[in-house]
Amino acid sequence: MQQPLQQTKDPEIANSAVSFASPLKLLLLHLTCGLGLASAFWVTLHFYSLTLILNPARTLLIVWAVEASVVIPIYSLFRRNPDQCSVIQFLLLLL
């Protein structure tokens, strides 16, 4: 027989609960990421004349580069502790 989970009264654990963003912010987040993906495919088609059928590796590399430059800063706005590791520190780690 399993014992019921006990409630912890530790204030540090209670304060570490995930705080969710508003639905409007999350909708804007997903729309921005979708527009980033659409713009990435537009860039590959109109600037580099590449498609997924003709040259999938180069196309996906360009899409990844454009989409990463959109997604990383956008999702960094929703981090739980932005002071611990900033976007600038993360980008410096990549170099």
What is the distance between the alpha carbons of residues 16 and 11, in angstroms, rounded to a whole number?
Answer: 9
pLDDT of 82: 66
- Rg of the chain in Å (alpha carbons): 20
pLDDT of 48: 92
- Could you read off the pLDDT tens digit of each residue along the chain, which spans 95 residues? 555 555 555 455 445 545 667 889 889 999 999 999 999 999 999 999 999 999 999 999 999 999 998 888 888 777 767 667 666 776 777 76
Structural domain spans, the chain: 22-94
CB half-sphere exposure, 41, CA atoms < 13 A: 9
What is the distance between the alpha carbons of residues 25 and 43, in angstroms, rounded to a whole number?
Answer: 26
Measured at the alpha carbon of residue 70, what is the angle toward residues 69 and 74, in degrees to the nearest 5? 120
